[in-house]
Amino acid sequence: MSSSARQRTARLFAIQGQGYPKLDHDPGGAAAASHVGAMASHAFPSDSETEGDEGMTPVLVDELTGINRTLEKQIETLRLRLDFDSRHHEAEKHALLVETGAKLKAKTEEIDIMKNQLIAKDSKVKEIEKDNERKSNEISALRREIETLNNDVVGAKAYANDLMSQMSALTREKEKLEREGVFGDKELEMLALRKEVSDLKSNLTMLEDELSKARDLIATQGNKLKLVDSDKKSLQFKFKEELARVSHSMRMEVERMRDVMKKQWEEMRSLREQNFSMSKDIKDIRSLLINGCLDDDSKLQQQQEEGQGHPQGNTTVPGQFASAHQVALPQTARGSKQTTNGFNMGALKPSLPVLNKESGKKTTNRRK
């Protein structure tokens, strides 16, 4: 609460009670009182009742003064309580706002951390995809190389078959020449062909070994690609679940904060309404006290003037004398009509709420 608001509240509740002033007894007033006492002795034969009527005005003034002081104390207590409640409510509101801001800041930092982690994981996934693409290109190149090797093997097998057919033809020709006894240059050609056949067989063996190695490499790379693909899918699934969970928790936290702020706003509105109603009651009490005191002073002064103006020839009926002492007091909405010697004492009862432990507990429960 700001200083200007506190000053306005202090001015609003700074009620100064005004008690009934004590009457000074002058000789003329004493003569009038003795004259009134003499008339009361003729009207009421009992001596005790006469003494009670003579001492009624000071007793009434003392009672009104005590009631006025009680009202001042209760008004001051209410003002202090309202000031304390407003400061306490502002402190709780400030603490709650600080706590809410800290929680929101922590959640924002957590979201930023998750975003950074997500960006890092996305970059890692992109690197894995690039690596997979590179390996796929390597596998494609290996496949093309294997196809080329297969074609070479097929060509070599065809060439070997041709050589085998040529060897068989040469073997038949050799056998024919052996039968005929003619060797010559044909023997040399057969040796060259056999050497070429052995070279082709060794080349075929090497090509088959390379082909088996290439097949093993392709199988290994395929298994690695499958594992990388499964890891990629699991990472994407985990990121989606984590992002959904964090988003849901943030939405729930924001909704809860909105509910808390709405409840605080409703509590502040109810406190403002209570403060307004209490200030209105205090204003009514102050106006009633001031008006009642002014009316009583004017009526007492009028009675004294009438007593001084007719000291001898004033003949009053007993009922009229009793009604002259009935001072019109302010009546509150809660006061009961109790008359003591012509005075309505029930109208002077304060209508302020009683401050006790139970009301304080109820106010604390409402805040909670």
pLDDT digits (tens, 9 = 90+) for 31-44: 333 433 433 344 33
Cα–Cα distance measured from residue 110 to residue 114, given in angstroms and rounded to the nearest whole number: 6
Q: If you average pLDDT over residues 2-21, what whole number do you get?
A: 47
Cα–Cα distance measured from residue 283 to residue 15, given in angstroms and rounded to the nearest whole number: 9
Question: Residue 292 CB: number of other CB atoms within 10 A?
Answer: 21
Q: Which residue has the higher pLDDT, 75 or 296?
A: 75
- pLDDT tens-digit readout, 235-289: 888 888 888 888 888 889 889 888 998 998 999 989 989 888 888 888 888 888 8
Cα–Cα distance measured from residue 15 to residue 77, given in angstroms and rounded to the nearest whole number: 11
Say yes or no to pLDDT of 326 above 70.
Answer: no
Query: According to the model, what pLDDT value does residue 315 have?
Result: 43
Share of the chain above pLDDT 70, in %: 64
Query: According to the model, what pLDDT value does residue 182 have?
Result: 52
The widest CA-to-CA distance across the chain, in whole angstroms, is: 198
Strands 343-344 and 339-340: antiparallel
Say yes or no to pLDDT of 208 above 70.
Answer: yes
Cα–Cα distance measured from residue 230 to residue 116, given in angstroms and rounded to the nearest whole number: 23
- pLDDT tens-digit readout, 141-179: 888 888 888 888 888 888 888 888 888 888 887 777 666
Instruction: Please say whether the beta carbons of 193 and 163 come within 8 A.
Output: yes
Cα–Cα distance measured from residue 21 to residue 131, given in angstroms and rounded to the nearest whole number: 103
Instruction: Please say whether the beta carbons of 75 and 13 come within 8 A.
Output: yes
- pTM for this one? 0.26
Say yes or no to pLDDT of 87 above 60.
Answer: yes
Question: Residue 82 CB: number of other CB atoms within 10 A?
Answer: 19
Cα–Cα distance measured from residue 74 to residue 82, given in angstroms and rounded to the nearest whole number: 12
Burial of 366 per CB tally in 10 Å (0-12, 13-18, 19+): exposed
DSSP string over 189-249: HHHHHHHHHHHHHHHHHHHHHHHHHHHHHHHHHHHHHHHHHHHHHHHHHHHHHHHHHHHHH
Q: If you average pLDDT over residues 280-306, what whole number do you get?
A: 78
For the chain, percent helix, then strand, then coil, each to nearest 5? 85, 0, 15
Instruction: Tokens for 68, please give them.
Output: 């006025």
Instruction: Please say whether the beta carbons of 79 and 355 come within 8 A.
Output: no
Question: What residues form DSSP beta bridges with 343?
Answer: 340
Q: Average model confidence (pLDDT) for the chain?
A: 72
